[in-house]
Structure 1
Amino acid sequence: MTTRVYGTDHDDPEQGPQPGRAYRELTGGGPLDGQLVDVTGCTDAELVDGAYLITEAGRYGPGGRAAYGPPDGDPAAPWVWEGDLP
């Protein structure tokens, strides 16, 4: 089974990672764990900031966000769940 990239549809035949793109794995016990987020073109400063990703599966339901970012500010590390936001 291919790891799904955040933002792709479940029935998209190309929902997995694509050649020439950079990704970070989402981990840490959050609603999007196991998916990849496309970080192609992001600077190290942007990678350290992480992202608030829209999810229907989080604490706040549809339209809520899950915060993910690198542990210890390591821009190359998988992103860890930091909590949910409305």
Structure 2
Amino acid sequence: MTEHTRPRVYGAGHDGTDPCATLSDHEYIELSGGPLDGQLLDVTGLTDDERLAGAYLITPHSAYGPGGRASYGPTFSRPWGPWVWEGDVP
């Protein structure tokens, strides 16, 4: 039997809180592929345009080293998630 693990929330846990804790009144999108694969991104408060644009997310595991960014965004067929990895950017 394998142990089920909860996905990590991007950017959470740096202040000593549970990095897998989600808030019931927040909305999350799963990140698929790349260095942040399987993490959840809190998109609460983003406009529709911002959600459709995607984001460059800081990651310690980028092709450009620690502090590089990974580009994630929606796909044409699934604009509201999950967001897929589009590549690394400096």
Moved more, 36-45 or 65-74: 65-74
Name the amino acid aligned to 1:41. Answer: G
Amino acid at match of 1:15: C
Aligned to 2:11: 7
SS in 2 for 1:31: helix
Looking at CA atoms only, which structure, 1 or 2, has the larger radius of gyration? Answer: 2
1:61 CA displacement:
1.1
**What is the Cα-based RMSD across aligned positions, in Å?**
1.7
Aligned residue among 70, 77, 85 for 2:74: 70
1:13-70 C-alpha deviation (Å, 9 max, x unpaired):
253321110011000x200000000000111110000000000111111110000000
**Distance (Å, rounded) in 2 between the aligned partners of 1:85 and 1:7:** 18
TM-score (norm 2): 0.84
> What corresponds to 1:43 in structure 2?
47
Unmatched 5+ residue regions in structure 1? none
Larger deviation, residues 14-23 vs 59-68:
14-23
**TM-score where L is the length of structure 1:** 0.88
Q: After the TM superposition, which segments of 4 or more aligned residues of structure 1 sit over 2 Å from their partners? A: 9-16
Which amino acid counterpart does residue 25 of structure 2 have in structure 1? Answer: G
